[in-house]
A and B are shown apart, each in its own frame.
Chain A
Amino acid sequence: MEALHPETNLLRLSKVCKSFKKSGGEEHLVLDGVSLTINEGEIVALLGRSGSGKSTLLRIISGLASAGSGKVLYRGKPVTGPVQGLAMVFQTFALFPWLTVLENVQLGLEAMRVPQAERHRRALAAIDLIGLDGFESAYPKELSGGMRQRVGFARALVVEPTLLLMDEAFSALDVLTAETLRTDLIELWLERRIPTKGILLVSHNIEEAVLLADRIVILGTNPGVVISEIEIPLEHPRDREAPAFRQLVDEVYALMTKRPRGAAGKAEAVPLSYRLPVAHVNQLAGLMEALAAEPYNGRADLPELANQMGFGVDQLFPLLEALEILAFAHTEGGDVELTAFGNNYVDADILRRKEIFAEHVIRHVALAAHIRHVIDERPGNRAPEERFLRELEDYFSEDDAERVLRVAIEWGRYAEHFAYEEGSGILSLENPVSSMPVK
């Protein structure tokens, strides 16, 4: 659509698929026909929830992993391995703890066999550019998170990458630090003080994406597909409070919470093949309480809620999804509303809450009902967790099957539908008996 002039494409992905082999030898599809273009002079944000394969996609783009099928072209040439001209900033910084700031920044230059004097000069310039002067001889462990990520940026920028990849580069930082770093980066970019021609930003923070990107690509989950693309035509610097900005944020929220199975699934249970979101019982209770209280009184605008709770998409969306599955709340058009059940839950005391939760888990989560059923049927009322893991592996990768089962176990345990013993991995009806009675 954009790519009228192919030579201005920095990167072009067409119909990229990727699957991983499961232990049984079957394939598990992670990316399904992803097409994506990054043009020169553009910042593109890749938004997606966990399980959307955005990390895998980034690794394919950077040449760390191969695409199963489809084409990955960097400046018109197929990517077959790590590409010179690409640099990445990592979520966890990925600094070498035994190297000083200066040595960390020089790393890429050393690999390129830049002579020492020039290496030194360029590294110092990059350190200067990113505002790290005075810390050249410090070790990463002496620095705060924000300063560490500045080293990460300096290390990436010093090799003068044509395309800068950022893997959730700000998500491990606190709110204030992240904001300063974003502002600094966008300034360098706008003032053309870095030779970088394009930036691909992987994020789960919607506001961050709207703040920085010229275009947002939204990935859907399981398997990852591009579900929509949205242009951000706002001028920099962008004002988070401006109505146009808010409206775009709302729009992205609505797009990302749109459920493929439709809104009408409330009464029925989600099947075994459903990827249960990782949501802890206490978080769900906390979120419902917050929704019921002032100022929301049962209904909240998602961006506002996320802001107030300091939540990124990765944290908020699984909770919303869980509430939706359990019929405690309903999300639509960028708003979330507590249902009557949700309100009941909030008003109840601790024991009654357990009862309500128990009822909803068994009615709406087929996996929990299935586990209970199997335990009931088995002699001795005991079943090993492997039994269920194997069943789930029909639908998910090994890791995901494990994750989904963990969620079902946590919910089922809290609801007292069954007990679980961590060491042996046995699910049973009785509650764990202490090895010695408490005095």
Chain B
Amino acid sequence: MSDRNLKIILPNIWDIAAFTLVMGLVALLAWGSRQMAAPYTPGEQIPLSLDPSHLPMYALRTVLRMVAALVFSFAFTFSYATLAAKSRRAEGILVPLLDVLQSVPILGFLSVTVTGFIAMFPGSLLGVEMAAIFAIFTSQAWNMAFSFYQSLKTVPKELQEASVLFGLSSWQRFWKLEAPFAAPGLIWNTMMSVSGGWFFVVASEAITVGKTAVTLPGIGSYVAQAIQDKNLVAIGWALLTMLLVILMYDQLLFRPLVAWSGKFKFELTESQDAAESWVLTLFQRTRFLGILAKGAGNLWNSLTERLPKLPRRRLTFIEPSSFALKVQGFVWHAILIGGMIFGAWMLIGFVGRGVDHSEIFKVFMLGLITLARVMILLALASLVWVPLGVFIGLNPRWATKVQPLAQFLAAFPANLLFPVAVVLMVRYRLSPELWTAPLMILGTQWYILFNVIAGAAAIPTDLREAAKNLGLSRWRLWKRLLIPGILPSLLTGLVTASGGTWNASIVAEVVSWGSTKLSATGLGSYIARWTEKGDYPHIVLGIAVMSVYVVSLNRFFWRRLYTIAQTRYRLD
């Protein structure tokens, strides 16, 4: 097929453009990663310059942390989710575990692990880097693993049967069937996680845990320094840089990947609203790179073909005796229960030694305050974004323009904007109890908007026409069609926003400007305050209580609503 003539092999204009892009990126990454392992002794203050000319380098460091976390997240996803999907026994513990991990506040992971990581890499900055990377990892991995697990569990039965019948090995099945089937969901979730991750990468660069003040060169620490120096101009530069970084991430990674993953959608009709990306088009038009990619593919194939041929997958017809099963089950459960007792003992012992019993009740009350903030904010944000989102979603022309913008805004780390808000609050003497609250939802409200837009755009035209034909009044149209129509997507948006808002509370309930510190009463500020003091029992207590709130909220509220929305208001 590729033997027409030489012209095909010669690079075309697209090749040159694409090649420059790729090689430039590789060089940048190489340079930046060398900086990561610089020597460092704990307590040492890494000098940060507020000179804007240093910002590109800081931005690169920030991006590198994100990339590293992403690599770990993928490794985790493939192993953890595959194990959960393939082994029934592991599934029983791994899936609930994921559910709990998902609700642990991400900055909590950072406060707890940072000293440990520093001890692991003595004399090198790598330890601190690892702590930050680990925090970012925790903001991505759970979500990705869930998506991959769910895809693995829903691989169509007839495709599984076909691959078993045609004798595909497990390795081949993974790459030919399972990974492609999971790709659209995994890529979408990855991109959502990365979008959320910018918030944490920025937050994790400047953190103080007791005596360990950690400053990693990056945009986040740059902003922290600017806050200390009350330098509003520097903050302006940082915002501009981050804007460019997110723009590049959005255009060079998010959009091309999502558009490309459309290929793996399990559908037998071409969808109308396929995602588009100029970068993907560019790469698809290149000749030279196309051949390069094909060559790489062939190499991969011939390599994997040389793998020792495993025996054909046998279905084990001989079922293990029920006695052996029982023993296995018993051992498994014994290990589980043992682990649980040990975990509970550790938690109680650790927290109990440093914390008064009355404190626990107090922390739960603080959680209630933060819960109230989160719920009120979500309601307010819905009041604003649902009508707007529906309006936009019903106008296809608007939707295609606003949708990417909303996704872009969701990726922008809102904590960079906090100083601006604090300056206003200080100047006008606004109460932090009330006015720090909007900061919590600043970055997460966009999830509501773009999910509502997607939901409204998916309402079938014939239903809208039928409603018009029946002469439904505006109020009735909302009640009977629009609200039920967007409900499943609205809930998806709300669940995501809710998780993000809880996480944001740790940085949003305590904000500062120079030496001025504004603090609101709540669980978030509780965790932040004790983190600064480096008091682990209190930190762990705060984190545990927040997890309890988030898990219960998910279980008893969101999931229930979601099930109702999925069964009653599905439009198909």
Q: Are the C-beta atoms of A63 and B315 separated by less than 8 Å? A: yes
The contact size tier of chain B is 35 or more
Q: Are the C-beta atoms of B267 and A141 separated by less than 8 Å? A: yes
Contact A111 to B568, CB < 8 A, known contacts A96-B159, A97-B265, A116-B301: no
B291-312 CB mask vs A (1 if < 8 Å, else 0) is: 0000000100110010001001
**Which residues of B (180-206) have their CB < 8 Å from a CB of A?**
180, 183
A423 an interface residue at 8 Å Cβ cutoff? yes
Interface centre among A91, A92, A99, A155 (most CB of B within 10 A): A92
Q: Which residues of A contact B168 (CB under 8 A)?
A: 107, 110-111
Q: Are the C-beta atoms of B162 and A81 separated by less than 8 Å? A: no
Q: Which residues of A contact B317 (CB under 8 A)?
A: 66, 80-81
Q: Kindly specify which of A82-90, A125-133, A297-305 makes contact with the partner chain.
A: A82-90
Q: Which residues of B contact A64 (CB under 8 A)?
A: 161, 164-165, 315
Having A81-B313, A87-B165, one finds 12 other A-B pairs with CB under 8 Å, namely A63-B315, A66-B315, A80-B314, A82-B313, A82-B315, A84-B312, A92-B158, A94-B156, A96-B177, A111-B167, A155-B166, A423-B564
Q: Which residues of B contact A98 (CB under 8 A)?
A: 180, 183, 263-264
Q: Which residues of B contact A141 (CB under 8 A)?
A: 267-270
Q: What are 21 sample pairs from A and B whose C-beta atoms fall under 8 A apart?
A: A63-B165, A63-B315, A64-B161, A80-B314, A81-B313, A81-B315, A82-B313, A87-B165, A91-B158, A94-B161, A98-B180, A99-B176, A107-B166, A110-B172, A111-B168, A111-B169, A113-B305, A140-B268, A141-B267, A423-B564, A423-B568
What is the bound-complex CA distance between A64 and B567, given in angstroms? 33
Q: Which residues of B contact A90 (CB under 8 A)?
A: 158, 161-162
Q: Which residues of A contact B332 (CB under 8 A)?
A: none
A95-138 CB mask vs B (1 if < 8 Å, else 0) is: 01111000000011011110010000000000000000000000
A239 an interface residue at 8 Å Cβ cutoff? no
Q: Which 8 A-B pairs have the closest CB atoms?
A: A108-B166, A66-B317, A94-B158, A111-B167, A81-B314, A94-B162, A98-B180, A111-B168
What is the bound-complex CA distance between A107 and B169, given in angstroms? 11
Q: Which residues of A contact B163 (CB under 8 A)?
A: 107
What is the bound-complex CA distance between A42 and B543, given in angstroms? 70
Q: How far is the CB of B469 from chain A (nearest CB, A)?
A: 16
B6-28 CB mask vs A (1 if < 8 Å, else 0) is: 00000000000000000000000
What is the bound-complex CA distance between A279 and B298, given in angstroms? 53
Q: How far is the CB of B339 from chain A (nearest CB, A)?
A: 29
A399 an interface residue at 8 Å Cβ cutoff? no
**Which residues of A (45-59) have their CB < 8 Å from a CB of B?**
59
Interface residues of B (CB under 8 A from A): 156, 158-159, 161-169, 172, 176-177, 180, 183, 263-270, 298, 301-302, 305, 309, 312-315, 317, 564, 567-568
Q: How far is the CB of A82 from chain B (nearest CB, A)?
A: 5
What is the bound-complex CA distance between A112 and B268, given in angstroms? 27
A397 an interface residue at 8 Å Cβ cutoff? no
Q: What does DSSP make chain A's interface, helix, strand, loop or mixed?
A: loop
Q: Are the C-beta atoms of B165 and A86 separated by less than 8 Å? A: yes
The contact size tier of chain A is 35 or more
Q: Which residues of A contact B183 (CB under 8 A)?
A: 98
Q: Which residues of B contact A154 (CB under 8 A)?
A: none
Q: Which residues of A contact B169 (CB under 8 A)?
A: 111
Q: Are the C-beta atoms of A88 and B165 separated by less than 8 Å? A: yes
Among candidates A62, A91, A111, A155, residue contacting B172 with C-beta atoms closer than 8 Å: A111
What is the bound-complex CA distance between A423 and B565, given in angstroms? 11
Which partner residue on chain B sits nearest A62 by CB separation?
B165
Q: How far is the CB of B302 from chain A (nearest CB, A)?
A: 8
Q: How far is the CB of A374 from chain B (nearest CB, A)?
A: 26
Q: Are the C-beta atoms of A96 and B180 separated by less than 8 Å? A: yes
Q: Which residues of B contact A140 (CB under 8 A)?
A: 268
Q: Which residues of B contact A87 (CB under 8 A)?
A: 165-166
Contact A108 to B177, CB < 8 A, known contacts A64-B161, A94-B161: no
Which partner residue on chain A sits nearest B476 by CB separation?
A439
**Which residues of A (129-158) have their CB < 8 Å from a CB of B?**
140-142, 148, 155
Contact A96 to B176, CB < 8 A, known contacts A116-B301, A141-B269: yes
Q: Are the C-beta atoms of B158 and A97 separated by less than 8 Å? A: no
Q: Are the C-beta atoms of A82 and B165 separated by less than 8 Å? A: yes
Q: How far is the CB of B470 from chain A (nearest CB, A)?
A: 11
Q: Are the C-beta atoms of A82 and B167 separated by less than 8 Å? A: yes
Q: Which residues of B contact A62 (CB under 8 A)?
A: 165
Which partner residue on chain B sits nearest A83 by CB separation?
B165
Q: How far is the CB of B284 from chain A (nearest CB, A)?
A: 14
A319 an interface residue at 8 Å Cβ cutoff? no
Among candidates B166, B180, B269, residue contacting A111 with C-beta atoms closer than 8 Å: B166
Among candidates B158, B263, B267, B312, residue contacting A82 with C-beta atoms closer than 8 Å: B312
Q: How far is the CB of A31 from chain B (nearest CB, A)?
A: 16
A159 an interface residue at 8 Å Cβ cutoff? yes
Which partner residue on chain A sits nearest B177 by CB separation?
A96
What is the bound-complex CA distance between A116 and B298, given in angstroms? 10
Q: Which residues of A contact B301 (CB under 8 A)?
A: 116
Q: Which residues of B contact A91 (CB under 8 A)?
A: 158
Among candidates B167, B180, B266, B314, residue contacting A84 with C-beta atoms closer than 8 Å: B167
Which partner residue on chain A sits nearest B301 by CB separation?
A116
What is the bound-complex CA distance between A80 and B162, given in angstroms? 17
Q: Which residues of B contact A63 (CB under 8 A)?
A: 165, 315
What is the bound-complex CA distance between A112 and B165, given in angstroms? 12
Q: How far is the CB of A381 from chain B (nearest CB, A)?
A: 24
Q: How far is the CB of B515 from chain A (nearest CB, A)?
A: 57
Q: Which residues of B contact A113 (CB under 8 A)?
A: 305, 309
Q: How far is the CB of B288 from chain A (nearest CB, A)?
A: 20
Which partner residue on chain B sits nearest A92 by CB separation?
B158
What is the bound-complex CA distance between A24 and B265, given in angstroms? 38
Contact A142 to B270, CB < 8 A, known contacts A82-B315, A107-B176: yes
